Amino acid sequence: MTTEEYRPLKDLDLNNARNENESYEDYRKRLKQNSEILKLYNTVGLDAFKEMFPAGIGEALKNSAEEAYNENAKELGEAK
């Protein structure tokens, strides 16, 4: 029986170089976000990070972005 290894930073773009189709503003936001995530990870440690983000931080960020999008769409729908 094999257990899947926990990868807390899975799906996170930690590349310090600007991506080809990435605006400068998006690039700066990504670097700041990565810095904050790594700071949190180094502060709380692997076990606490795993407890906070069981599917990894990439999945949590994706879910957070989807929730924000849905909330904005809902607000725009109500404003009409």
**Average pLDDT, whole number, for the chain?**
87
CA 74 vs CA 23, 62, 63, 66, 77: distances in Å: 27, 18, 16, 12, 5
* DSSP 8-class letter at 8: T
Rounded to an integer, the average pLDDT of 7-28 is: 92
Give residue 79's pLDDT band: very low, low, confident or very high (50, 70, 90). Answer: low
CA 35 → CA 7, 30, 71, distances in Å?
A: 17, 8, 27
